[in-house]
A and B are shown apart, each in its own frame.
Chain A
Amino acid sequence: MADHEFTHTNADIDVHAMGEMHEHPTWKQYKWVALILTVITVGEVWGYYIPAFVASAAFVPTLLLMSAVKFAIVVLFYMHLRYDHRLFKALFTGPLIIAISTIIALLLVFGKFVGR
Chain B
Amino acid sequence: MATAVASHAHPPTSTGLDHRKIAIWAFIGSECMLFASLISTYLIYKGRSVVGPFPHEACNPPICATPLKPILNIPVTSVSTFVLLMSSLAMVLALAAVENKGKPGYEGILGSSKLWLLMTALLGTTFLGFQAYEFTSFVHEGLTIRTNLFGSSFFTLTGFHGAHVTAGVLWLLTLLAIDIKRGLGPKDALLVDISALYWHFVDVVWIAIFTLVYLIK
Contacts and interface: CB of A to CB of B under 8 A. Distances in A.
Interface residues of A, number: 65
A69 B103 CA distance: 33
A13 to B, nearest CB: 9
B89 to A, nearest CB: 4
A116 interface: no
A12 B2 contact: no
Interface stretch (B22-30, B166-174, B176-184): B22-30
A24 B44 contact: no
Interface of B: 1-7, 9-10, 12, 15-18, 21-22, 25-26, 28-30, 32-33, 35-37, 39-40, 43-44, 46, 74, 78, 81-82, 85-86, 88-89, 91-93, 95-96, 99-100, 103-106, 110, 196-197, 200-201, 203-204, 207-208, 210-212, 215-217
Contacts of A103: 36, 39-40, 43
Contact of A67 (B46, B74, B207): B207
* Most chain B beta-carbon neighbours within 10 Å: one of A66, A87, A95, A107: A95
10 contacts: A3-B1, A16-B6, A18-B17, A24-B96, A27-B96, A70-B207, A78-B200, A92-B29, A107-B44, A112-B46
B215 A45 contact: yes
A52 B22 CA distance: 47
B27 to A, nearest CB: 9
A20 B3 CA distance: 14
Nearest to B46: A112
Contact of A87 (B17, B88, B217): B17
B44 A29 contact: no
